[in-house]
Amino acid sequence: MRRQFTGLNCLSCSVLQRRHDFVTSELQGESLNPAVCTKLIVSYAFFDEKIYVVICRAKRKFIGEGEYIYMSAIGNEMKIKNNYFDGLEVTKKQICLFIVVIASYFFENLDNNSFNFCAPAIMASMNIGTAGLAQITSAYYLGNTFGAIFGGIISDIIGRRKTLLISTFLFTTGTIVDAATTDFTTFLVARALTGFGILCMMVVTITYMAEMSPKESRGKWEGYIGGFGYLAAPAIGFISGAIVPLHPEAWRNVFYIGGIGYILLIVSYFTIKESPRWLMSRGRQAEAEDVVSSLVGMPIDLSDAVIVKKSRSNLAKDVQKMFSPLYLKRTIVLFLILCGGVVSFNSTQPWMTTLLKMNGFSMQDSIFISTIFTFGFPLGQFVAAYFADRGGRKIPIAVFGILYCVVTIPFVLFIKDNVILAAILGLLVIAIGIARNFIIHPYVAESLPTSQRNSVTGILNGASRFASTGAQPLVPILFAAYGTMGVFGFAMGFSILTSIIAIFFGWRTACKSLEELNENISQE
């Protein structure tokens, strides 16, 4: 028989075993006054062979009035039964963990955007034209493709934590090699390595954050992490503006700054914890409970948590399952939404500084204006954090896809005539594109079952990046034939595709547990 506490917020109970009769009287309907407490308060009672528990923190209810949760007795230790982090407050320890992830994301974006600002200087230094620049950008996105696909598979085999550490090492090393080499082929290979490490880390970070956050605020925390991480874009923009014009080879010093990522690697080694969902999928419940308990500050029992056993990753089987009747519709919809958002953004953003230079701006002015644009990165992330959990995610994805086009048209029209207005509109173009894409990425990850989440997320991200690889050689052709409007018109077409697919064929994922979303697949 299930019974609830009634009219009760919390009970002052310093010694649990002395409160058996006290709490039992409440179960029988006797009214008690709530206590005001300054530390964690636990009240419990044995009833019908179960242990009912009410928990609260100072001035903040942990669960609603009249609700209860279960506690398990293991030896002399009492543990709270819970589904990972769902329903729990985000603690200071979790925030510290998120800060380390933010730092990782910061240096990932530092290395990524270094090339975008230095591109005109690299063209002059290596004596290459826009075709050569397109080759470098294509190599980067080709690395993205394999990083997205195999990063997910690797993390399913060795865990999220180790994959995050390996990817940090790879993109940092690639950036340092680019800074040191004078050979174009070596630069291409190192740029591809950087692309592999960056996308590998992005895929795993999205999955990691989805698995380490409570369902109630999952989108918000992912948005915050991206927002602070993307502060690297304007930061490296100002640094590039100060360093690159000094002499023809000064751009190399900008790349050497990425070496700070090695310091972050050491910090991450001692602070990043493994995902409890991944541990549970490997049958390592005790370790998973230790991770959750250490972060939330109370003993957690995961014996009733949803567990998805993960067999050894097999790319062929994952691909086959993606296109099985059960998952086919979801796979196609997710790919079209992701591809539309990624190609729309990546066909213009890496070329911003170069396009400004080709529109007649000086090197220094091109870098400065591009730096103003990059403030749209953190702005877009914070906007995404605000709207991500609204409209089931599909609505903001569709709305931002349309707004991207609405702002892009006047930006292209005023890019030469009114520099200040173009800078403001360019910032908004970046912000809206980032907001849309950063809602798309968790939307994809949380729409997939745990047993496939990293592998299939990687495959879908890899496919979208491969599409971006193919789009790069088109940029110089479109610019030569139709000017700036031709390049951005191409981007707007993909943005509209994203909105149409999301609004008519998408589903709602916000504020639902990952396990609940998995169950919904079979009901579609």
Highest mean pLDDT among 6-20, 75-89, 119-133, 174-188 belongs to 174-188
What's the whole-number average pLDDT of the chain?
Answer: 78
Amino acid at site 492:
M
How much is the average pLDDT of 37-60? Answer: 36
How much is the average pLDDT of 400-412? Answer: 94
Residue 361 main-chain phi, psi, to 5 deg: -80, 150
Report the length, in residues, of the chain.
Answer: 524
- Which H or E run includes 221? helix 218-229
Tokens representing 459 are: 């495959």
For residues 93 and 78, give the distance between their C-alpha atoms in angstroms, rounded to a whole number: 22
Tokens representing 113 are: 């955007």
> Is the per-residue pLDDT at 225 higher than 80?
no
Q: Considering only CA atoms, which of 317, 282, 316, 287 is closest in space to residue 302? A: 287
Tokens representing 98 are: 């998120």
For residues 469 and 467, give the distance between their C-alpha atoms in angstroms, rounded to a whole number: 5
CA dihedral over 351, 352, 353, 359, signed as positive or negative: positive
Kindly indicate the confidence band of residue 65, based on its pLDDT and cuts at 50, 70 and 90: very low
The pLDDT value recorded for residue 393 is: 84
The pLDDT value recorded for residue 197 is: 93
Domains defined along the chain, listed by start? 16-81 (no CATH), 92-511 (1.20.1250.20)
| pLDDT tens string 138-161 | 999 899 889 878 887 788 889 999
How much is the average pLDDT of 288-307? Answer: 78
If one counts every other C-beta atom within 10 angstroms of the C-beta of residue 290, the result is 17
Distances in whole angstroms, Cα of residue 339 to Cα of each of 2, 80, 332, 453, 522: 48, 42, 10, 18, 24
For residues 439 and 400, give the distance between their C-alpha atoms in angstroms, rounded to a whole number: 10
Amino acid at site 409:
I
Residue 241 main-chain phi, psi, to 5 deg: -60, -30
Q: Considering only CA atoms, which of 235, 233, 232, 252 is closest in space to residue 244? A: 252
The end-to-end CA distance of the chain, in Å, is: 34
> Is the per-residue pLDDT at 389 higher than 70?
yes
| pLDDT tens string 450-472 | 667 767 777 887 888 889 888 99
3-state secondary structure of 300: strand
* Choice between 435 and 388, residue whose per-residue pLDDT is larger: 435
How much is the average pLDDT of 167-195? Answer: 94
How much is the average pLDDT of 281-296? Answer: 86
